[in-house]
């Protein structure tokens, strides 16, 4: 019987962190996503979950139509929403690879937990924005240089 996680990945994107702006413009989100798709291997069975604050909902939603969008306000609201997905959505059972699109250190513990369950954790982050502990716990790090 085939393992249901085989060959599958989920991309958890903290768009504000990847763009470097809490209120990104639609064109900035589109440019970030174009660069993301150039740099990050994506399979046909991959899924995306994007989290933003309420002030970024419209421009991100327009730029990434069709992708699951979570909205959470407050300090680190997007981080908290993605953290809940990691804790509650049984990612280790459903995906071979989890791609964390953020450099925030809050994801280090989750990355370590997923790695301990046999999941390859890939971190995508802007250069200079990657937390050291998250870098150490990631199985792979892909820099996302938006200026390129």
Structure tokens at 97: 């690879």
Instruction: Specify the CATH number of the domain 9-143.
Output: 3.40.50.1010
* 9, 36, 55, 80 from 143: Cα distances, Å: 18, 9, 26, 23
Parse the chain into domains and list their residue ranges. Answer: 9-143
Q: Would you state the pLDDT for residue 1? A: 39
Burial of 85 by CB count in 10 Å (0-12 exposed, 13-18 middle, 19+ buried)? middle
Q: Tens digits of per-residue pLDDT, 49-60?
A: 999 999 999 999
- pLDDT tens-digit profile of 112-125? 999 999 999 999 99
At what angle are helices 108-116 and 77-88 packed, to 10 degrees?
Answer: 10
The pLDDT assigned to 12 comes to 98
| Cα four-point dihedral sign 109, 112, 114, 117 | negative
Give the whole-angstrom CA distance, residue 45 versus residue 18. Answer: 23
For the chain, residues with pLDDT lower than 70 are 1-5, 148
Q: What is the value of pTM for the model shown?
A: 0.93
Partners of 69 in the beta sheet? 50
Q: Which among 9, 27, 15 has a CA at the least distance from the CA of 104?
A: 15
């Amino acid at each position: 019987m085939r393992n249901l996680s085989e060959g599958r990945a989920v991309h958890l994107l903290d768009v504000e962190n990847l763009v470097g702006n809490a209120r990104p413009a639609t064109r900035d989100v589109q440019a970030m996503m174009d660069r993301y798709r150039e740099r990050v291997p994506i399979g046909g069975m991959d899924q995306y979950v994007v989290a933003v604050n309420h002030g970024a909902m419209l421009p991100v939603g327009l730029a990434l139509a069709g992708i699951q969008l979570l909205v959470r306000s407050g300090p680190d609201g997007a981080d908290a929403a993605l953290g809940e997905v990691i804790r509650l959505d049984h990612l280790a059972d459903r995906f071979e690879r989890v791609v964390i699109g953020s450099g925030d250190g809050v994801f280090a513990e989750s990355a370590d937990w997923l790695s301990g369950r046999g999941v390859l954790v890939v971190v995508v982050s802007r250069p200079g924005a990657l937390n050291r502990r998250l870098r150490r716990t990631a199985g792979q790090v892909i820099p996302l240089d938006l200026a390129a």
